[in-house]
Structure 1
Amino acid sequence: MTLNRLFFLAGCLLMGGMLQAQIADKQTYLSDFKKELTLKWPENRTLNIVFHGHSVPTGYACTPVVNTLQAYPHLVFHALKAQYPYAVLNVITTSIGGEQAEQGEKRFKDDVLTHRPDVLCIDYALNDRTIGLERSEKAWRKMIESALAENLKVILFTPTPDLTESIMDEKSPLSEHAEMIRQLAEEYHIGLVDSYQLFKEKAENGEELQKYMSQSNHPNSAGHSCVAAEVLTWFF
């Protein structure tokens, strides 16, 4: 058990017993950050949002095409600047196509924390199927705890669809990884963008998920727009 994990549990006990696990409150979690987005020169400062993960936040469409400006990090950037015209804002992607969470954790200090993010988003579940739940969870915990030790705001992402799996199958690998990520967000009381649930609800309503995909495991611009809209609920 890591030191940060021990501090987390100790804090719960000091509050009079184990706190009920739940994700952070959307209305308050980024309230300080949202306030800073409204500040004008000379009171403002440079603000950084970092998206860390695999090919999806990188913008891979039908491989090897990379539609960077249609990927959800840049859609979020564009929307935030439209909403907050005085903000000095950077949206930085440290994602690498084909990477899974263990690889992302190994470069976390050098490639992510060096950008001094105010808000950190993590999206690795699609590729974490190659290493399994146990190893994936361990890597996610290391990244989360390293970020929280730096007082960063963290938002976890469940996976976007893979058409080779049924999104209605609760026992599928992606479904199990999505549930693990939900539990981590609740345990650490941090943010969650539940992309998997978003697309599952579309399938339950009779929509064909193919229209949101550029290939079996990469969203197209419509799919990225759906994810970006959900991300923005944390900022507006």
Structure 2
Amino acid sequence: MKEKSLIIGGLITIILGAFVFFNRSPLKIELPKGRESVLVCFGDSLTAGIGAPRGKSYPDYLKNYLDVKIVNKGVPGETASQGRERFEKDVLSLDPDIVIIEFGANDYFRKTLSQNTRGHMEFMVDRLLDRGTVVFIAKFFPEKSIVSFIKSKDKKEYDKMYKELSSKDNVFLIEDIWGEAWGRPKYMNDTVHPNEYGYKIMADKYFEAVKDLFEYNNLLK
């Protein structure tokens, strides 16, 4: 009976341990204390806010939700390679605690090989991780949209890139930045850029993805 009790006790411990493990929030990461936290939004036109009036980009809307310094470092038309060229100046020099990286759309339209895009993305991600920065990577294409412009073969390559990059510790993938905005004229300025209402929806999707991290650090407004 004693051996049976020990076995049952051991099984309960394993089960409880597994329950705790699988329910542990990956965004319970403590950010540095004693200074204002800095979030850098780094990407192309979808970060810069092309298609909307000044002050209506997704990073601008995020300022309504997060009690941190938010810096918009989006440059229209850029590829991951071009982002890497200004990475030191526009990102690392700001000593950010969190960075949202949004690149890939212009690589796709210019038919850049996905492995080249991945190499530039991985360089930036690894540099940030070396500094203890929390990284979010945003997919540029609407995952479940029936009007998604990205071809199935290319989609598999980009999906693989994003998945592998987000498998690193303290790197998190934002699967959907579009929500209901994609392809709906009232939310779009043109075929690939939201208007101010679309960017508001986009900001809500970003917030949904990062909320747990900021809530854990008491940085919600």
* TM-score, normalized by the shorter chain, greater than 0.5: yes
Identity across matched positions, percent: 22
Deviation at 1:191, TM superposition (A): 1.3
What does residue range 1-236 of structure 1 map to in structure 2 within 5 Å? Answer: 27-29=25-27, 31-33=29-31, 44-61=34-51, 67-81=53-67, 89-129=68-108, 130=110, 131-160=112-141, 166-167=147-148, 171=152, 173=154, 176-188=157-169, 190-195=171-176, 199=179, 202=180, 208-233=183-208, 234-235=210-211, 236=215
Deviation at 1:210, TM superposition (A): 3.3
CA distance, structure 2, for counterparts of residue 219 and residue 72 of structure 1: 10
CA distance, structure 2, for counterparts of residue 79 and residue 232 of structure 1: 8
Give the TM-score, by structure 1 length.
Answer: 0.67
Q: SS of 1:215's equivalent?
A: coil
- The answer to which of 129-138 and 216-225 deviates more is 216-225
- Structure of higher CA gyration radius: 2
CA distance, structure 2, for counterparts of residue 214 and residue 225 of structure 1: 13
- Structure 2 vs 1, CA of residues 113 and 168 (structure 1 numbering), >3 Å: closer, same or farther? closer
Does the CA-based 8 Å contact 2:183-2:191 persist in structure 1? Answer: no
Specify the code of the residue in structure 1 equivalent to 2:114: L
CA distance, structure 2, for counterparts of residue 56 and residue 168 of structure 1: 16
The alignment covers a number of residue pairs equal to: 184
- Structure 2 vs 1, CA of residues 28 and 171 (structure 1 numbering), >3 Å: closer, same or farther? closer
Deviation at 1:28, TM superposition (A): 4.2
Q: Which residue of 2 is the match for residue 11 of structure 1?
A: none
Which structure 2 residue ranges, 5 or more long, are not aligned? 1-22, 216-221
**Root-mean-square deviation (CA), in Å?**
2.9
Specify the code of the residue in structure 2 equivalent to 1:32: E
Q: Write out per-residue CA displacement over residues 136-176 of structure 1, whole angstroms, 9 at most, x where no aligned residue.
A: 01100000001001110000000045xxx941866164564
- Structure 2 vs 1, CA of residues 223 and 30 (structure 1 numbering), >3 Å: closer, same or farther? farther
Q: Write out per-residue CA displacement over residues 4-25 of structure 1, whole angstroms, 9 at most, x where no aligned residue.
A: xxxxxxxxxxxxxxxxxxxxx9
Does the CA-based 8 Å contact 2:43-2:103 persist in structure 1? Answer: yes
Give the TM-score, by structure 2 length.
Answer: 0.71
CA distance, structure 2, for counterparts of residue 125 and residue 224 of structure 1: 18
